[in-house]
Copies of this chain bind each other. A is one copy, B any other.
Amino acid sequence: MSLSILCRYTCSVVQRYAQLSSPLVHRRCLVSSISLYKNHNPGWGSKKHTGKRKIQLQSLLLSMDPEVEKQLAPLRARCKEQGDIVRKLKTDGAPEVDVKREVQELKSRKKELEDMTLKLSPPDSFDRAKMNDLIKRRFFYDNSFAIYGGITGQYDFGPMGCDLVDNMLAEWHKHFVIQERMLKVNCSILTPETVLKASGHVDKFADYMVKDVKSGECFRLDHLIKQHFEKKMADKKTSQEEKEIIKRKINLLEGMTMEEMDGVVKEYDMKSPLTGNDLSDAVEFNLMFPICIGPTGTLKGFLRPETAQGIFVNFKRLLEYNQGKLPFACAQVGNAYRNEISPRSGLLRVREFTMAEIEHFCDPDDKSHNKFSQVAGVEVTLYSACAQMDGESAKRTTIGEAVRGGLVANETLGYFMARIQQYLLKIGVNPKKLRFRQHLSNEMAHYACDCWDAECLTSYGWIECVGCADRSAYDLTQHTKGSSVKMCVERLLKEPQMVDSVVAVTDKGAIGKAFKKDAKAVQEALASLSSEESEKMDKALSENGEYELNGYKLSRAMVPSFKKEQKKVHVEEVVPSVIEPSFGVGRVFYALLEHSFRVREDDDKRTFFSLPPVVAPIKVSVLPLSSKQDFVPFTDKLADALTELNLPVRVDDSTGSIGRRYARTDEIAIPFGVTVDFDTVNNTPHTVTLRERDSTEQVRMPIDEVPLTVKKLADGKILWKEVTDKWPKFVAQETTK
């Protein structure tokens, strides 16, 4: 599986197959709710609270203006009130439908609180239009097939975008695959229907849709309703009372069933926003792209909606590769596809996207992690399900405390959360705009034990960039059912056990005569039958006289009887649990761009991206101050020496002023710039200036020292400060005029 929102599993449809009352989540939720309560209690931390199972959630409230808090207080109270209702219903074992109704209401109140919090936050000077202008102008990415009019929901990544994504993924590979010694696979995107039937996608991976009855234009049902309501909200004729009702309905929208949404469409007599025509009844629209594999048209398939299934179907081979041992993890990076009804929000909702997924297989009864102690002290911002239910804000804590307190389900899940955060910060995500939000129990697929999304704050609000879920044994179990190939590991029993076993008594002669060279395979298949299978076969042979095993038709004559035996077994079979960190690469990329977008204080036309050198597409620019011929050998030699070190270089020998050229290199996030000037050419030793993008500081240094210095800076082996400490500062005016 994959990112919750990305895979639409938090939205509309899947909620219907998520169970609301997972006792595990509920218990943990109550526990952490107590811990949070204690946290507000001044007595907390005193002796009487200590003890072996003491919950040590040393959370820190995010610093918050008291004035702001005053405005938020009533909204927090409204959440808490509703959260308590939900808790009570769950504790009382109320019918699912009732719980669900109240959770919807809770989410609506949560949304009000979140909206108000964002509204009251200190104003962010971020200007999306300005950033988009830069992105388009310097071709970070743009609509695909623009010369043919473009196409919504698909983007081409230009040189800067492509290199940035490549660098993000190269760092991802080092951070996860190499450092954690994971396996990696690359599986087919064209996927036969049977595989996605087993995974649940054929039946459940859908959105609701209505059609313009005349033009055939399609609309995503929730978007259509929201758009209609937003128009009404903006309409002066709408009364205040009506507006209040509509606002509530908008907040409730996410949790509505198809029938409920359809009811809203009819209640408000909504029409096609493009033509004013009537709309069809709502239908479910499966979001996978159907495809026919081969020329006959009979082998149906889909473009994969996520990369994870490729790992699951190869589980047996991967386990074998790992010499039969748990735990191990396998990663995959690649494209996935979703036929969005009406894509919007730029890179956040697209039809073709890259995912980077990890499936960590572990013993279901031992989810400890041998490197957990290395990350236990990592501070994270957690927005727990309980905090959401109580109208609390997200809390700072360490991942060690969160796991010890039971808030995060287990060490392995916590370990990956910490590693995800380390990765995101390394590539340049703003730590203040990063949080982990726990899924509410009804957001989680019923098989998941716990799920946290790494969310980044952007101008679109908090967006889910990475999912991190404990998916238990669900996926392997589904594929075992779908393929009849057992997906499990053998676990050594502490001591051997005697078990009753039903064994086939065969007539070798009859089998040999019937199957000839296949007889051995048939004998082996019979020998490896489980007791249940043996009993089923015995019954079938008695009733029908024949039974098909692995494609071989067996008769009673071949298997005259079955006998009961006591067998000594040393191992038991268990289906591994899967912990899944799942990255929506395009979303991380987009958040990173927003977080690193800057405007120079002294000139608001000079915009740039402050990307860390490790992911910056080009590491260094070489700028000759003059186009005179004597400059060429210096420029060429330097650029070649930098290229020799595998550093992506950009030479800008255009005639613009040096300031304008710096501005151009800043725009495409080049962290370091070398200028060959008259001093370089005229004086020995030949020196150049080296400039750092964010500070615009420059030093003067010998040209021969530049390549290795830049290499070290680009690899993060040294910091800029070490360069300014070593070499004299060079002061020059940066004017773009």
Give residues in A with beta carbon < 8 Å to B: 138-139, 142, 144-148, 151-159, 161-163, 165-166, 170, 173-174, 177-179, 181, 183-192, 194-195, 209, 216-218, 285, 289, 291-296, 298-299, 303, 310, 313-314, 316-318, 320-321, 323, 330, 335, 337, 339-341, 351-352, 479, 482-483, 485, 643, 646-651, 654
Contacts and interface: CB of A to CB of B under 8 A. Distances in A.
A187 B648 contact: no
A162 B147 contact: no
Given A145-B192, A147-B483, A192-B148, A187 B157 contact: yes
A456 B327 CA distance: 41
A292 B157 CA distance: 22
B178 A643 contact: yes
A188 B147 contact: no
Nearest to A141: B186
A185 B209 contact: no
A216 B296 CA distance: 7
Given A296-B218, A321-B158, A321-B159, A646 B190 contact: no
A155 to B, nearest CB: 7
A654 B323 contact: yes
A154 B188 contact: yes
Per assembly, the copies of the chain total 2
Q: Which of A146, A152, A156, A159 has the most CB of B within 10 A?
A: A159
A44 B220 CA distance: 77
B318 A351 contact: no
Contacts of A321: 138-139, 158-159
A337 to B, nearest CB: 7
A307 to B, nearest CB: 11
Given A151-B293, A298-B216, A179 B310 contact: no
Contacts of A291: 289, 291, 303
Contacts of A289: 190, 291-292
A218 B313 contact: no
A134 to B, nearest CB: 13
Nearest to A161: B186
Contacts of A339: 292-295
Contacts of A155: 188
Given A191-B145, A218-B295, A483-B148, A314 B156 contact: yes
Given A148-B192, A157-B185, 6 more contacts: A152-B294, A154-B293, A156-B188, A218-B295, A294-B341, A295-B341
A31 B252 CA distance: 79
A699 to B, nearest CB: 25
B157 A218 contact: no
Contacts of A209: 295
Contacts of A654: 323
A186 B334 CA distance: 12
Given A174-B646, A341-B295, A144 B187 contact: yes
Contacts of A294: 152-153, 218, 339-341
30 contacts: A139-B317, A144-B310, A145-B195, A146-B313, A147-B313, A147-B316, A147-B483, A147-B485, A148-B192, A148-B194, A148-B195, A148-B313, A148-B483, A151-B299, A156-B186, A157-B186, A157-B187, A158-B314, A158-B317, A159-B318, A165-B186, A170-B170, A179-B643, A181-B649, A190-B337, A218-B295, A289-B291, A293-B339, A293-B351, A295-B341
A218 B186 CA distance: 29
A450 B704 CA distance: 43
B179 A158 contact: no
Contacts of A646: 174, 178
Contacts of A337: 190
Contacts of A188: 144-145, 151, 154-156, 352
A285 to B, nearest CB: 5
Nearest to A321: B139
A184 B156 contact: no
A196 to B, nearest CB: 11
A191 to B, nearest CB: 7
A648 B299 CA distance: 39
Contacts of A485: 147
A323 B165 CA distance: 23
Contacts of A293: 151, 154, 339, 351
Nearest to A177: B648
A298 B216 CA distance: 9
Contact of A159 (B174, B183, B651): B183
A187 B156 contact: yes
A244 B649 CA distance: 61
A214 B648 CA distance: 59
B181 A643 contact: yes
B185 A162 contact: yes
Contacts of A154: 188, 190, 293
Contacts of A295: 209, 218, 285, 339, 341
A314 B148 CA distance: 11
A58 to B, nearest CB: 30
Nearest to A183: B159
A314 B153 CA distance: 17
Contacts of A310: 144, 156
A479 B147 CA distance: 9
Contacts of A341: 294-295
A202 to B, nearest CB: 14
A285 B296 CA distance: 11
A148 B178 CA distance: 31
B151 A296 contact: no
Contact of A335 (B146, B189, B651): B189
Nearest to A209: B295
Contacts of A153: 294
Contacts of A285: 295
Given A142-B317, A185-B158, A296 B217 contact: yes
Contacts of A313: 145-148
Nearest to A640: B179
Nearest to A648: B178
- Across the A-B interface, the 9 shortest Cβ-Cβ residue pairs: A144-B188, A159-B183, A218-B295, A147-B483, A157-B186, A147-B485, A156-B187, A162-B186, A154-B188
